[in-house]
């Protein structure tokens, strides 16, 4: 076994603390990765605090992993020692269901193997994530990192980047389309940058005026503070696509009214409590309410290559592992600018 040093929550009420554990020895198709950086996603907090239910402990969170190949199994031809690589939100899937066969492996019908807070495919070993120094992953679930993306900035692309890229592509954000991004956090700020690169007209909808300058600097054309409820009438029937990245409960019915006829509101934020939907606000303009989860392995590689080509990078605050608990508190207060990334060498 490989000795790993990480940072874990031992229960839903415990803070993140140093934790030693073992990774499996590499099988023939595995890649051993020295983790250099890991992003902090709000999902880490929801899961470590068991806000979605069903969490398993001890939990080493982290699914925005950027690192360098330390060793490879005997059958590996795609990667070699020293390659720059990434790992996102899942590390395996069944590979044979209809979705896996159609490059929709994030929606594996038998269930993905989450990078942490779940079990390996044997149903026995706990999967453990990127708040650690090393990880062992089957090569099919490893991403190649383009040379021009520094590893610290690469990390947030592996969840925040792909979670916005996938619905923006699926709902065809592009020239002539008005796109709204609700919540300017880790996911939201990637949404602004990617939607702009795709040619869409982008509006940020944020709970206050505090992030206005940042949003405009990120090249959003418009910024609306939803503290002023008038925005919901002033901008009624004006968006083709709205993506809700908010991690808390907000009243969706306000937002449905912002959609044009046949417009779509896509949920990506996963609050602890359910949101209520008044069907009339969808029915009146044949609006769609949908959801989207991360992206497939193929689409994630496509997103990394797109971000490299378009020079799209997240805005990050790099921290030491000793600062994780304080960083989580700032994420919960919507005070991150705009993604914390843990430097695992510190
Ligand atoms: P984050 O950095 O904390 O951003 C969330 C943003 O939501 C905040 O910056 C804030 O933006 C807004 N917000 C937070 N609390 C609010 C409140 N009480 N009222 C109104 N607005 C509020 O979180 P993240 O890492 O981007 O993740 C966002 C959500 O997506 C989380 O629930 C996470 O679990 C989920 N997620 C889903 C997927 C998926 O595949 N669907 C993948 C990753 C994460 P403003 O300050 O601009 O209002
Ligand atoms: Zn995430």
Cα(61)–Cα(157) distance, rounded to whole angstroms?
Answer: 16
Please answer whether residues 60 and 128 qualify as being in contact, where contact means their C-beta atoms are separated by less than 8 angstroms.
Answer: yes
Q: Of 269, 293, 331, which is best to mutate to test ligand 1, by the most ligand atoms within 8 angstroms of its C-beta?
A: 269
> How much of the chain, in percent, has pLDDT values that exceed 90?
100
Q: Which residues are registered as beta bridge partners of 168?
A: none
Q: Which residues are registered as beta bridge partners of 341?
A: 39, 318
- Ligand 1 atom closest to Cα of 292? 41
Atom 16 in ligand 1: which residue has the minimum CA distance? 248
- The pLDDT of residue 220: 98
- The pLDDT of residue 337: 96
Ligand 1 center to 110 CA (angstroms):
28
* Structure confidence by residue, pLDDT tens digits, 132-141: 999 999 999 9
For residue 70, the SS3 value is strand
- The pLDDT of residue 243: 99
- Parallel, antiparallel, or unpaired for β 113-114 and 90-92? antiparallel
Ligand 2 center to 215 CA (angstroms):
21
- The pLDDT of residue 342: 99
* Structure confidence by residue, pLDDT tens digits, 166-221: 999 999 999 999 999 999 999 999 999 999 999 999 999 999 999 999 999 999 99
Cα(203)–Cα(221) distance, rounded to whole angstroms?
Answer: 6
The set of protein residues with a Cβ atom below 6 angstroms from ligand 1 is 41-43, 46, 159-160, 163, 183-188, 206-207, 211, 245-248, 250, 268-270, 292-294, 331, 334, 336
pTM, two decimals, is 0.98
Cα(321)–Cα(6) distance, rounded to whole angstroms?
Answer: 9
* Structure confidence by residue, pLDDT tens digits, 79-129: 999 999 999 999 999 999 999 999 999 999 999 999 999 999 999 999 999
- Ligand 1 atom closest to Cα of 268? 41
Instruction: Please compute the mean of the pLDDT values over residues 148-163 and round it to a whole number.
Output: 98
- The pLDDT of residue 71: 98
DSSP secondary-structure letter at 155?
A: G
The closest alpha carbon to 134, from 8, 280, 3, 243, belongs to 3
10 Å CB burial of residue 229 (0-12, 13-18, 19+) is exposed
Question: Is the preceding peptide bond at 164 cis, omega within 30 degrees of 0?
Answer: no
Cα atoms in the 13 Å half-sphere on the side-chain side of 222? 17
Ligand 2 center to 234 CA (angstroms):
33
- Ligand 1 atom closest to Cα of 160? 43
* Structure confidence by residue, pLDDT tens digits, 297-336: 999 999 999 999 999 999 999 999 999 999 999 999 999 9
Cα(130)–Cα(60) distance, rounded to whole angstroms?
Answer: 7
Please answer whether residues 131 and 6 qualify as being in contact, where contact means their C-beta atoms are separated by less than 8 angstroms.
Answer: yes
- The pLDDT of residue 30: 98
- The pLDDT of residue 26: 97
DSSP secondary-structure letter at 323?
A: G
* Structure confidence by residue, pLDDT tens digits, 238-289: 999 999 999 999 999 999 999 999 999 999 999 999 999 999 999 999 999 9
Atom 17 in ligand 1: which residue has the minimum CA distance? 248
**Which runs of E-coded beta strand occur in the chain?**
2-8, 17-23, 30-39, 65-72, 84-87, 90-92, 113-114, 118-119, 126-127, 134-138, 143-144, 178-182, 201-206, 222-225, 239-244, 259-267, 288-291, 316-319, 339-343
């Amino acid at each position: 076994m490989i000795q790993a040093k990480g940072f874990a929550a031992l229960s839903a009420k415990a803070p993140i603390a140093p934790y030693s554990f073992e990774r499996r020895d590499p099988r023939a198709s595995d890649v051993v990765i020295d983790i250099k950086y890991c992003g902090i996603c709000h999902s880490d907090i929801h899961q470590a605090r068991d806000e979605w239910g069903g969490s398993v402990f001890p939990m080493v969170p982290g699914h925005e992993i950027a690192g360098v190949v330390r060793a490879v199994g005997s059958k590996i031809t795609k990667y070699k020692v020293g390659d720059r690589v990434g790992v996102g939100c899942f590390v395996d899937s069944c590979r044979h269901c209809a979705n896996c066969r159609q490059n929709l492996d994030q929606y594996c019908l038998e269930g993905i193997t989450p990078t942490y807070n779940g079990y390996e495919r044997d149903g026995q070993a706990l999967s453990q994530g990127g708040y650690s120094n090393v990880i062992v992953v089957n090569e099919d679930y490893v991403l190649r990192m383009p040379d021009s993306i520094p590893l610290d900035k690469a990390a947030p692309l592996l969840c925040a980047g792909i979670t916005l890229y996938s619905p923006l592509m699926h709902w065809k954000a592009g020239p002539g389309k008005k796109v709204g991004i609700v919540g300017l956090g880790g996911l939201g700020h990637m949404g602004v940058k990617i939607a702009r690169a795709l040619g869409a007209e982008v509006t940020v909808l944020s709970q206050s005026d505090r992030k206005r300058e940042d949003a405009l600097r990120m090249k959003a054309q418009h910024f609306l503070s939803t503290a002023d409820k008038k925005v919901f009438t002033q901008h009624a029937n004006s968006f083709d696509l709205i993506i809700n990245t908010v991690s808390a409960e907000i009243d969706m019915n306000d937002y449905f009214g912002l959609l044009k006829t046949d417009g779509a509101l896509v949920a990506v934020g996963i609050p602890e409590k359910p949101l209520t939907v008044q069907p009339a606000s969808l029915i009146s303009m044949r609006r769609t309410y949908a959801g989207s989860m991360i992206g497939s392995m193929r689409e994630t590689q496509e997103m990394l290559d797109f971000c490299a080509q378009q020079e799209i990078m997240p805005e990050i605050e790099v921290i030491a592992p000793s600062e994780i608990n304080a960083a989580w508190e700032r994420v919960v207060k919507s005070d991150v600018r705009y993604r914390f990334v843990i430097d695992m060498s510190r």
